[in-house]
Amino acid sequence: MPLHIVRNDITQMKVDAIVNAANETLLGGGGVDGAIHRAAGPGLLAECRTLNGCRTGEAKVTGAYRLPCRYVIHTVGPIWRGGLFGERQKLISCYRTSLSAAEAHRCETVAFPLISSGVYGYPKDKALRVAVDTISDFLSDHEMTVYLVIFDKASFQIGERLFRSIESYIDDHYAAAHEDSREVQRSRILQAEQSYSFKPTEEDAAAPFPKEKPSKISDTPKAAPAAKPFPGSRTVAGGAALFPEPASALAPHFGAAASLEEALRRIDESFSEMLLRKIDERGMTDAQCYKKANIDRKLFSKIRNDRLYRPSKPTVLAFAIALELPLEETKDMLMKAGFALSHSSRFDIIVEYFISKGNYNIFEINEALFAFDQNLLGA
C-alpha cells in the first residue's frame, strides 16, 4: 500500500528516510524536531550546523546517526496565521521538496509527521488534507511507500462535519444489524434455511443435467465459496444447481447478464478475472487501477498472475473503490473472494457510507477509517 497512515513515534520508524518538522535555524527545538535530535544524538546537530539553516517550504538532507533509518530530511513548515498568507502553498511545498529529496537519495520508504500541525498551529484537519493530497498526488506517478506517522490521536482530525455524518451513518446501520434479539435472529436463520433447502423429488433427482457439463458450481475451484442457491433455483445432490428460472431472474445477482450462459460464466469468474474484466471495461490501465486502489505493484501482479488468488477483504474493497463500483457490484466482487459486507462491522459500514455518497477517494476513506480506529483499505 503506497500511502500508510500509522500510529507511531517517527523516531522508531525503520524506513530509508524520516522527515523532520524543523524550524529555519535547523538547530533543534521541541515536538518532533526535539524527539528526532534526542534519538539521533549530537552528531545530527553538528551536521545541521553546517547547513546554514533552511527556508520555509524547502528541505535539506542529513545522515541519521543513531536513528533506525538512513537519512533525515529536514523541512520547515509554515506558521499558521489564519490561512491568508500562503500557508497552504508553503505546506504543499514542504511535502513536495521532501519527496523529491527522498527520490534523489533513492529512498523507497519515507515517513512524514503531520508538518506544522503542532507548535506551528496549522489546523489539524487542514494539515492532514494537504499531506494526504500532496503525497497521493506524488505517488500517482512514482513508486515509493510513504508513511504518515500520527504520534497522538489528538493530532489527527478529519473534518468535524464528515466525522459526524459517518458517526450517524454507523449508528443507523450498526444498530439495525444488532437490534434483533437472539430469538428473532434465530428464527430468521431458520426461515432462511427452510426457504432455501429444496428436497429434490425423485423426478428432479432423475432429471438430466442441462446439455452442457453440470454447472461448474460443484467443481468451483476451492478458492471460491460454494455459491448459495438462488431463490427459485434447485440444488440436487452433488451441489450442482439447476436454474429453471430464465436468466432474467438471475439478473439481480449477476447484473444484466444477458443470457443464462453468461450468468453461469460469471458464477465461475474468480475475483481476479472479475477485477481484470472491470479494469478493461473501465478503459483503465493496470497501473492506474492499483495506484487508485493504493495497492503496491507487487501485490497487483500476484493477483493478476493467479486466477484463484485469495485477496484480503480490504484489498477487494480497495479495488472496488478504485473501479468506482456501485454497491451491488462491490458485493458481487466481495462474494467472488468469499466475503460479504456486514452491518456488524464498522469498517464495512464506513466503506459503504462512502460508496453510497459516491465518494471513491480512497485516501479520504482511509483517513475516516483511521479516525474510527479501523484497518485501512489496501493491502
Footprint of ligand APR (CB under 6 A): 9-11, 21-23, 29-35, 77, 113-120, 149, 151-152, 155
Give CA–CA dist 366/133, Å, rounded.
Answer: 12
Give CA–CA dist 265/131, Å, rounded.
Answer: 44
| Positions marked catalytic | 33
Contact in structure between 319 and 277 (CB atoms under 8 Å): no
Distance between alpha carbon 219 and the CA centroid of its chain, in Å? 32
Name every residue whose Cβ is closer than 8 Å to that of residue 209 and which is 6 or more positions away in sequence. Answer: 215, 240, 242
Give CA–CA dist 63/44, Å, rounded.
Answer: 7
- The CB-of-31 to ligand APR minimum distance in angstroms stands at 2
Q: 60: buried, middle or exposed (CB in 10 Å: 19+, 13-18, 0-12)? A: buried
Rounded to the nearest 5 percent, the helix, strand and coil shares of the chain are: 50, 10, 40
DSSP 8-class letter at 201:
-
Q: Which three cell numbers stand for residue 159?
A: 473534518
Smallest CA-to-CA distance from 112 within 122, 90, 97, 123 is with 97
Give CA–CA dist 377/367, Å, rounded.
Answer: 10
Name every residue whose Cβ is closer than 8 Å to that of residue 272 and which is 6 or more positions away in sequence. Answer: 303, 304, 306, 307, 308, 309
Q: Which three cell numbers stand for residue 225?
A: 465459496
Give CA–CA dist 115/59, Å, rounded.
Answer: 12
